[in-house]
Chain A
Amino acid sequence: MTAANPTPTPLMQQPLHQPLIQMKPISLTINGAAIGPIQTPDGLMMIDFLHEYVGLTGSRLGCGQGVCHACVVILDKPDGSSEEVRSCITGAHFFDGKKVRTIEGHAKRNEQGEVVELSPVQQKFLEHFSFQCGYCTPGFVNAATVLIERLKREPIARESVEHEITKALDDHICRCTGYVRYYEAVRDVVLNTPGLVKDSA
């Protein structure tokens, strides 16, 4: 406590019409649907926006500090490429005007909104018994989907498939599975989707 700071105005006496949280509108495309504008607190993390403002609760908060990658969403860029973005450390307003996909957007649905067909990655995860508790699964689905989409644009040689899968997924933490069945499922998709592997028979 020094006298250098001349009596600051106590918080209670500040004018009430100046809210402590600034609200700003967001408009974006989520899973192909235009959302917003929604008044959203400035600085709100994307995962909280998804959970609390648009009711999409499938993205998982794992660490909250960008380490475990359970929370990633897919950002679709104007050039047709896609990338993973960690929604626990990225503000919702970063996505203003952008296109994102979440775990809810992979499967095909009918007019009633019921799932009628899983995406190839989801389907192979099921067939390979890839996940156990399922907490990290939305992140793995998104990461594997981004990898598949990249390989469609930039096919790789057969001998580098395992290495590329490890590079793409290694940041994703899983407590239950030991990763083997996730990785084998992704390899199954890569090897059985035409055009992802160069000079494949």
Chain B
Amino acid sequence: MAAKCRFPVKNLLVHPVYTVGYGSKDHFTVPFYGLVAAMYGDGRPVRLAFDRYEQFQTSIKRHASKMRYRIGIDKKTLLLQSFKAEFEVDGGGRCNFSPSVAMVGASGAQSIYYFPKSDLTGVAIASRAIDAGSARGYGTLQTMAATEMLIDEIATQLGLDAIDLRLENALRSGMKNTQGAIPAGAIRVDEVLQKAKVHPLWTERAKKKAEYELAHPGNRYGVGFACVQKDFGTGAESSFAKVEIAADGKITLHHTAAEIGTGVNTSQAIACAKWLGKPAAEVRMAIIDWPELPVVTSGDPYTMSQGEQDKLSANPRWSPGLISPSSATNSAFYFTHSTHEAARVVFTHGLWPAAMAIWSGGIGGGQAAPLVVRREEARWVEGKLTAAGLEPLSLEQLASKAHDLGLVTGAVVHVFNRWQWSEAEFNIDGVTERLPIDGLSLLHGAGKTDAKTDAKADAKIDAKAAKAPVPAVYRALDRKRVFIAPVSRNNAAVTYYSAVGTLVELAVNEASGRVSLLTHHSIMECGNMLSPQLVSGQLQGGLAMGIGHALHEYLPLYEDGPGNGTWNFNRYHLPRASDVAVWAQTGEVLPPLSETDPPKGMAEVVMIPVVGAIVNGIAHAIGHRFNDLPVTPQNIQEALA
């Protein structure tokens, strides 16, 4: 922006997160308005304050989308045979992620199914509508909800149980998605479907429909179900993390991740505990300057040739990407990876050798000598480290020892993921290790002649004093070899998925056309949860947003739309608590396969199945299938007329 500007702009600082709106964060015209306003500020700070009408006018919108699907199924085997999908997204006046929304939407259209043959086309068009851009679900909200409605319709036409049909055709572990990639790890959508199949909302739906309609004349009862799995990440995910442990055991975490309200600062603090026994006490997010580890990047990670990547990666400081914004549901899996790896280096080369030194102290090799001690048997129990029956040691003891012995007490890592992590070999204190990171910088303890405590005290008082020791003490390592995912990974895309199935119980009022959600139940698979409270918060919030998408939230395109400056929350109905079955709703998360499942991103997938489930539930209630959203009371009155 500074380079393109014809005014003498010296520095332009755009805060990593200047809005709190999902999907309206980093690629947006508003910073330019701020820049222009600043020209008239006479050197003084300028604040731009928009009212809500202006925000409706200016903020980027979800892409209005059209889906045209044909699904072929073999009536004898009940197996899906082919999927032909045409998907068109309206990008509005400026190209803002539209091509990638079209691509991601098309690649997600398969939902949870295996299609032996598929022919998917995604097209983004320009129009005079307000700019559309990145929004929660990123094209797949539209395409997967549509698939789920069609599958439900197929089941009805064939006289099948809609969950049984899904179970027959759900993708299983090791099978290919429509792009030809094999998804990461176990696919557990069948477990989600099995749970839904035996849930009372599903098994008793016919009986309850009869009872409810008898007890509530003028109302129609319906139960709907949908299940989707959504990818997370962008195919070029990168981040820095710094984990440091002070001599008193205090853990500090710095990360590039920006907090947008989803709780990433909490979850990343918690992530430290896996290797260090307790959460970070001090957390600084959205750090963009990393003098401790100077990584450089160049080229486009999505379009570069293999030859170009091979050539560039000869530079031990080069990575295909530098820093990813908080987007694409990338904190739980991708940001946690860098936090975990930084903490792991501190553990492996700091706390573990410190523990061994303590356990091996004394004559004849101390308490450790009679035992076989394996690092993989290390366990944190109630905040203390033990292994193979050795005396549990507190983090304070270990940190102090690591500092005294000059072991690793801090690590900065850089990571990159193209649907697969970059790996590299590093020589750490004489040992070559292959780690799933592409950059590493280490801080060692000062040794026994400890001037560190004083330096720290000084640092608190004088920020300038703190600056001096840090770059001097951190030492960036030159990686020996690097293994970056081949650029051909870009072609197949998408390997990481989380699955959610949602059952909705609803009532349709024949006179008003109003749909009331009586309750809903969601079943989710997302690996190990860093924080169950944050996970359920995303689930509940996503469900409300999906309910809004299905039934309430509507902005006309073009002249009557929000661009005319008359739109606000009086006309744009955001779901209230009374619209989302706030007290009745329930959710469950599948237990992880083991404590070693990585945490998986789930903050987008949560809003999608409820959309299909509502429309399928309305079909169960009144026998009419809607294929245009939102389904308004007027639509329902017309269908019932």
Interface residues, chain A, with chain B CB atoms under 8 Å away: 61-65, 67-68, 128-129, 131-135, 162, 166, 169-171, 173-183
Contact = CB atoms under 8 A, between A and B. Distances in A.
B241 to A, nearest CB: 23
B569 A135 contact: no
Interface string B506-535: 000000000000000000000000010110
B570 interface: yes
B283 interface: no
Nearest to B577: A179
A170 B537 contact: no
A129 B533 contact: yes
A132 B569 contact: no
Interface residues of B, number: 34
B329 to A, nearest CB: 14
B569 A67 contact: yes
Contact of B568 (A63, A166, A177, A178): A63
A183 B52 contact: no
A183 B544 CA distance: 14
B576 interface: yes
A64 B543 CA distance: 26
A185 B545 CA distance: 21
A171 B539 CA distance: 22
Contact of A181 (B53, B261, B540): B540
Contacts of A166: 577-578, 582-583
A68 B576 CA distance: 10
B261 A134 contact: yes
A130 to B, nearest CB: 8
Given A129-B534, A132-B541, A173-B569, A63 B263 contact: no
Contacts, number: 94
B570 A61 contact: no
B270 to A, nearest CB: 12
A71 B168 CA distance: 51
A182 B576 CA distance: 12
A170 B576 contact: yes
Given A63-B568, A133-B20, A181-B537, 19 more contacts: A63-B52, A64-B51, A65-B568, A67-B570, A68-B569, A68-B574, A128-B533, A129-B263, A132-B263, A170-B578, A175-B21, A177-B540, A177-B541, A178-B545, A178-B582, A179-B576, A180-B582, A181-B533, A182-B577
A132 B261 contact: yes
A64 B541 contact: no
29 contacts: A62-B569, A63-B52, A63-B569, A64-B51, A64-B52, A64-B53, A64-B568, A65-B52, A67-B568, A68-B574, A128-B533, A129-B534, A131-B261, A132-B262, A132-B541, A134-B20, A135-B20, A166-B583, A170-B576, A170-B578, A174-B544, A175-B541, A175-B574, A177-B540, A178-B580, A179-B540, A179-B576, A179-B580, A183-B577
A180 B22 CA distance: 19
B545 A179 contact: no
Nearest to B547: A178
B552 to A, nearest CB: 12
B542 interface: yes
A120 to B, nearest CB: 19
Identify the 8 closest CB pairs spanning chains A and B, nearest first. Answer: A133-B261, A178-B540, A178-B544, A133-B20, A132-B261, A179-B577, A129-B533, A180-B540
Nearest to A173: B574
Interface centre among B22, B260, B261, B536 (most CB of A within 10 A): B261
Given A67-B568, A132-B261, A178 B542 contact: yes
Contacts of A61: 49, 51-52
Contact of B537 (A132, A134, A173): A132
Contact of B541 (A169, A170, A171, A178): A178
Nearest to A161: B583
B96 interface: no
A175 to B, nearest CB: 6
A170 B574 contact: no
Interface centre among B49, B52, B53, B543 (most CB of A within 10 A): B52
Chain A interface mostly: loop
A33 to B, nearest CB: 26
Nearest to B542: A178
Nearest to B571: A67
Contacts of A181: 533, 536-537, 540
A169 B52 contact: no
A132 B261 CA distance: 4
Contacts of B53: 64
Contact of A173 (B22, B576, B585): B576
Given A67-B568, A133-B260, A134-B261, A176 B541 contact: yes
Contacts of A171: 576
A64 B52 CA distance: 7
Contacts of B52: 61-65
Contacts of A173: 569, 574, 576
B6 to A, nearest CB: 34
B602 to A, nearest CB: 14
A68 B572 CA distance: 11
Contacts of A134: 20, 261
A180 B537 CA distance: 8
Nearest to A167: B578
Contacts of A162: 583
Given A68-B569, A170-B577, A176-B261, A183 B582 contact: yes
B609 to A, nearest CB: 14
A177 B263 CA distance: 12
A178 B51 contact: no
A183 B576 contact: no
A179 B582 contact: yes
A171 B575 CA distance: 10
A169 B533 CA distance: 22
A179 B52 CA distance: 21
B543 A178 contact: yes
A134 B262 CA distance: 10
A65 B583 CA distance: 28
B208 to A, nearest CB: 22
A135 B51 CA distance: 14
Contacts of A174: 544
B279 to A, nearest CB: 15
Contact of B545 (A64, A67, A131, A175): A175
Interface in B151-179: none
Interface string B542-574: 111100000000000000000000001110001
Nearest to A179: B577
A1 B316 CA distance: 76
A40 B580 CA distance: 42
Contacts of A133: 20, 260-261
Contacts of B574: 68, 173, 175
Nearest to A67: B569
Contact of A169 (B20, B21, B577): B577
A183 B534 CA distance: 16
Contact of A63 (B49, B541, B570): B570
